[in-house]
Structure 1
Amino acid sequence: MNTADCHQILGVQAGASQKEIKNAYRQLSLKYHPDRNKDDSDGSRFKKVSEAYQQLRSEEKKRDKISESEVATKYSDFWKKYDKTPNEEFHFGPNFAEFRRDFGAKAEQNYEHNQEKEGSPMLTHIILYGGLGAMALWIILSTILK
């Protein structure tokens, strides 16, 4: 079965999006499903619709799939940039000077680790005991409603 036949069976145009194809398949599968459609005892129409949809889906997946050779090529191209000999100069790009900034720190300033104000444990206690209370309430209600 070629793609033109598949599009014709599903009732969509040749350039239909995957969403349109999926919607058409869902509508037709509900319409022709053997459990809903008692006229078609063997479900031949449903089988045709399903086969057409699967054919279009597989072709879409083949188009979207990246071959292993393409992945290997992209991987090797990526690492060629970074695999330099020690004598070659490595360029990070135009903003390498930004790496050398002192970020506002002065070497002569003394820095102590505990300069920030310690946080209050009140919020931690509210979250901890509130969560425990909610769990206890859930356990009690689940045993009562069983």
Structure 2
Amino acid sequence: MRPRWAVSNPLLQEYFDTEWGRPIRDEHGLFERLSLEGFQAGLSWLTILKKRPAFRAAFANFDPDAVAEFTDTDVEQLMQNVEIIRNRQKIQAVINNARATLQLRDHGGLSALIWAYQPETDPTLDADGNPPSQSDESIALERAPIGASSGVINSH
């Protein structure tokens, strides 16, 4: 049974049925999800799902190797792309995260870093079927220097 938020739109239904709550362990999938979550801040997830094809086109299908090579010229082009969310800080964060993802490869990778903070138990969902917006583990991951669990020097 779908929660209330997942029945209001076919994109949300499809997302819930095929992606929501399923673990992502590969670098590409995690990089895409982190990038999209960053763009979602302050907006609805439906907005992001509607724009996901355009985001994939704009960000080289979220290939960290390609995005890490983006230049200031690329940022300016992205700022003109009406199909995506044109927020310079969010765009720059995706590029910076791509570069950090590459750095992590010699130290266990993005997946190892993120999954090092997996909670011992699944979170309790609220009445709408949503997990808490944060947990002790998510706060620890947010505060961790890049690659803290795998020995990468903090690049902040």
Calculate the TM-score normalised by the size of structure 2: 0.23
Compare relative contact order (CA 8 Å, sep 6+) and give the higher one, 1 or 2.
2
**Whose radius of gyration is greater, 1 or 2?**
1
Calculate the TM-score normalised by the size of structure 1: 0.24
